Structure 1
Amino acid sequence: MRLPRGDQAVIDSRKLTDYCLSLEHDDGQHKARLFQELLGLTQGNAELLIDALKKAAASGDAVKGRADRYGQRYVVDFEFAGPSGKAMLRSAWIVPRGERVPRLVTCYIL
């Protein structure tokens, strides 16, 4: 299945630059190290990841997850080729209750 309205998915770049790719974030720094070491991704080239997430949201295979009071959750796994390597990534999405467009929750290397 496809992510509902994946072509309209909302990606807040701060989720990536201030968390997933931030070596300074208490929780995100471990993800950031992996992104940098395995793929060559940093806060400075976050657009590469944003573009890949947009493509994955629009055309990747989505797996429907749990629904709760916040909304319906999905995951989309995809292969990503960064400046210095390739890896499978998992992107987590939510269609918030009362809304129709998915929003990025997080992403990480599998």
Structure 2
Amino acid sequence: YSCLLRLKSSIEEDAIRMQPGTGETHVFFPDSLGDDLIVEVQDSKGKQYGRVLAQVATIAEDAGDKLRWWSIYREPEHELVGRVQLHINYSTTLDENSHLKCGSVAETVAYDLV
């Protein structure tokens, strides 16, 4: 299995391919808390197995919970087909006036596939 990760606000061609279990990391810059991290899981032949839709707002809600399991669903039936464990380090930066700057950072590591 492999995973293609991208933000909903980005184009499909910007997807990053990652192999579960390798410890690879990638830094994403969400447009806002309304953005989503899309993880498309593919089988060994490159066929889509299912996908995860991780809302940035959900990730930001509990930024201390870095290691989480996410459900993988096959569409259009919305059938649960597995789970993927992601390590997400979410941080934001305030400007000199204590306003939240755009461009939060979400570091994502795909660890395991069940």
Which range, TM-score by smaller chain?
0.3 to 0.5
TM-score (norm 2): 0.37
Structure with greater strand percent? 2
Structure with greater helix percent? 1
